[in-house]
Amino acid sequence: MSSYSIESLEQYFKVYRRSVQKPKKFWGKIADENFTWYQKWDKVLEFDMQKAEFTWFKNAKLNITKNCIDRHLANKGDKNALIFEPNDPNEPARTYTYNQLYTEVCKLANVLKEQGVKKGDRVCIYLPMIPELAFSILACARIGAIHSVVFGGFSANALSTRINDSTSKVLITSDGGYRGAKTIDLKKIADEALKNSPSVEKVLVVNRTNQEINMQEGRDLWLQPLIDQAESTNVAEIMDAEDPLFILYTSGSTGKPKGMLHTTAGYMVFTAYTFKNIFNYNNDDIYWCTADIGWITGHSYIVYGPLLNGATTVIFEGIPSYPTYSRFWEVIEKHQVTQFYTAPTAIRSLAKEKVEYVQKFKMKSLKVIGSVGEPINEEAWHWYNDHVGGKVCPLVDTWWQTETGGILISAIPFVTPTKPTYASLPLPGIKPVIMDDLRNEIEVNQKSGSLCFDFPWPGIARSIWGDHQRYIDTYFTKFPGKYFSGDGALRDEVGYYRITGRVDDVVIVSGHNLGTAPIEDSINQHQAVAESAIVAFPHEIKGNALYGFVVIKEAGLWRDQNNLRKEINQLISDQIGAIAKLDKIQFVTGLPKTRSGKIMRRILRAIAEGGDYDFGDTTTLLNPEIVEEIKTGRIAP
């Protein structure tokens, strides 16, 4: 077990050196000693970076749910696998032991089979943060169906696009979902989506809110009666190491979302190993990650990583501000949480409230606190460290992406000294490099460039669903022979990495990964709009917020600008979801463009951010006069 668990800095350096010198040996040993296989591999790794082809644990056979559930039953059958904390603190929490989880997953797996779902079929899951979301994921994995979870905050249009891209056969949803004081009409949104999604043959509906919904005969079925009748055991499907496990959509620089494809064995080994080390997981711990399972953080570090380690993982349905700003801290005390993993945006929103909300709680159970999703600024880091971690819990700033499957750069608690705003050191087996625009490696310290990786790790995505060329073009072409993350980073004298933000057209708002292109596409559908450009500007709580520069077609439509702003935001809300709404919309008569017609976002970004407007060279612009007009009309904070 020694290489599975890193206990000291010396050991980390030793393991790291060995892992990058002999990665196949390193990952082979981890895989060999810590998992259950029907059949082991012929080869640990075959790959071709240029073609973006990766085969980990070639020809091995396994089922990930045997590793998440079955193998724990003998010793941990009565241990809690899940603790469900509902949105309303007055609703009792629910727990599921590993034995109960086994039964729930097997029953649902049998229901899916009865509904005609076979190995390789896609199942779309559109659910609130309830235990059935975890059961659904695991039930798919049990029978070899590919799950495609769509975050419950997405609109009908976004849901429909994702169902169609993956040609999902079954949709699992619920009547509604609770979120703070609001109820979200999930089934109603799903009905709307399904008008344009003919691949869906059956809709399985979880009863969560008891609200009135429409059930279409022949298509829609309540899940509970089917579960009640289902067999409570299920023989897990035998999967190949490289059989697809799931698709998860992430934003890209074109309007179409990218369905990142993850496969079975590599993802399993990588999420299990990173979870164990980054959260210093020990047997009696109660681990809580506040993300939604609809994002990669929830897939890897609420469901798979914790369960693979036989951990107890909390599923929280609510939000940090409901019914009060103490909700997170109350839940930590209530369930005696030992590891707490959240996003900087949540920390910033709580830090702006009265400190009493957090100070009332000692949170003595906490051991490790973590951050994910965007750079954590110094102020938020200290607030989190002081008030939540009580200055004694290591704060791990974990850097990774939907594409990477699991964490690549992070401190290991009680091992790596932490440094505010630095994600710190790469995990074993991970080889970061920082590249300049001329494709040379930046060797000097404190100079930022593009964050790339030299060698594959087991959790790397294998493709974009249905479009392998796009996968190659997006991640493996700009820096040949390397994986390009799309993020900027620098390294300090000690070798610690600091992430400086995106270097492409993706913006992180409140920790959500949004492409500017799909938002622009939505805005441009408004009849009054000729053209638009979205950029990010710094926001106190959300990290970044969106600023839209919008060119209007006809002057007559300018009259009620505020109404137009509302309509544009409504359009974005309908097409993508409320998370992508713009904070500021400035109407302009043109956008600064190069002679080849490319929008100069650099200039728009400088205007949106304010300050002293260092535009750099504008002489190459097609329309330099527009810059002054836009600057004058800037919407101040």
Q: Which residues bind ligand PRX (CB under 6 A)?
A: 250, 295-297, 372-375, 397-402, 423, 485-487, 499, 502, 508, 513
| Minimum CB distance to ligand PRX, residue 248 (Å) | 9
Q: Which is nearer to ligand PRX, 67 or 401 (CB)?
A: 401
Q: Which is nearer to ligand PRX, 117 or 545 (CB)?
A: 545
Asked if residues 82 and 95 have their Cβ atoms less than 8 Å apart, the reply is yes
Q: Which is nearer to ligand PRX, 171 or 407 (CB)?
A: 407
Asked if residues 20 and 455 have their Cβ atoms less than 8 Å apart, the reply is yes
| Minimum CB distance to ligand PRX, residue 87 (Å) | 23
| Minimum CB distance to ligand PRX, residue 510 (Å) | 11
| Minimum CB distance to ligand PRX, residue 1 (Å) | 27
Name the nearest CA neighbour of 581 among 531, 530, 522: 522
Q: Which is nearer to ligand PRX, 203 or 508 (CB)?
A: 508
Element (H, E) at 629: helix 625-632
Q: How far is CA 427 from the centre of its chain?
A: 19
| Cα distances (angstroms) measured from residue 626 to each of 520, 616, 636 | 20, 15, 18
Which residues, other chains included, contact 214 with Cβ-Cβ below 8 Å and sequence gap of 6+? 187, 188, 191, 220
Q: Which is nearer to ligand PRX, 499 or 599 (CB)?
A: 499
Q: Which is nearer to ligand PRX, 375 or 592 (CB)?
A: 375
| Minimum CB distance to ligand PRX, residue 367 (Å) | 20
**φ, ψ (nearest 5 deg) of residue 43:** -145, 140
Q: Which two tokens stand for residue 583?
A: 């904070």
| Cα distances (angstroms) measured from residue 522 to each of 56, 126, 152, 550, 632 | 39, 22, 20, 12, 26
**φ, ψ (nearest 5 deg) of residue 583:** -80, -35
DSSP class per residue in 387-442 = IISTTTS-EEEEB--GGGSS--B---TTTSPP-TT--BPBPTT--EEEE-TTS-B-
Helix (H, G, I), strand (E, B) or coil at 255: coil
Q: Which is nearer to ligand PRX, 178 or 279 (CB)?
A: 279
DSSP class per residue in 30-99 = HHHHH---SB--SEEEEEETTTTEEEEEET-EE-HHHHHTGGGHHHHTTSEEEEEE-SSTTSPPEEEEHH
Q: Which is nearer to ligand PRX, 234 or 463 (CB)?
A: 463
Asked if residues 200 and 169 have their Cβ atoms less than 8 Å apart, the reply is yes
| Minimum CB distance to ligand PRX, residue 434 (Å) | 14
Looking at the chain, how many residues does it have?
A: 637
- Distance between CA 4 and CA 564 in Å, rounded? 57
- Distance between CA 287 and CA 335 in Å, rounded? 9
- Distance between CA 250 and CA 570 in Å, rounded? 22
Q: Which is nearer to ligand PRX, 85 or 374 (CB)?
A: 374
**φ, ψ (nearest 5 deg) of residue 75:** -105, -20
- What's 556's DSSP letter? G
| Minimum CB distance to ligand PRX, residue 473 (Å) | 17
Q: Which is nearer to ligand PRX, 176 or 389 (CB)?
A: 389
- Distance between CA 98 and CA 85 in Å, rounded? 17
Helix (H, G, I), strand (E, B) or coil at 610: coil
Q: Which is nearer to ligand PRX, 226 or 579 (CB)?
A: 579
Q: Which is nearer to ligand PRX, 406 or 429 (CB)?
A: 406
| Minimum CB distance to ligand PRX, residue 16 (Å) | 19
| Minimum CB distance to ligand PRX, residue 250 (Å) | 5
Asked if residues 15 and 1 have their Cβ atoms less than 8 Å apart, the reply is no
Q: Which is nearer to ligand PRX, 166 or 485 (CB)?
A: 485
| Minimum CB distance to ligand PRX, residue 130 (Å) | 21
| Minimum CB distance to ligand PRX, residue 313 (Å) | 17
DSSP class per residue in 174-241 = ES-EEETTEEE-HHHHHHHHHTT-TT--EEEEE-SS-------TTTEEEHHHHHHHS-S--PPPPEET
| Minimum CB distance to ligand PRX, residue 374 (Å) | 5
- What's 482's DSSP letter? S
| Minimum CB distance to ligand PRX, residue 333 (Å) | 26
Q: Which is nearer to ligand PRX, 164 or 500 (CB)?
A: 500
| Minimum CB distance to ligand PRX, residue 426 (Å) | 13
Q: Which amino acid is residue 316, in one-letter code? A: F
Question: Which region, left, alpha or beta, applies to residue 430 given φ > 0 means left and ψ of -120 to 50 means alpha?
Answer: beta
| Minimum CB distance to ligand PRX, residue 419 (Å) | 13
Q: Which is nearer to ligand PRX, 167 or 377 (CB)?
A: 377
Q: Which two tokens stand for residue 180?
A: 């703070």
- Distance between CA 256 and CA 279 in Å, rounded? 35
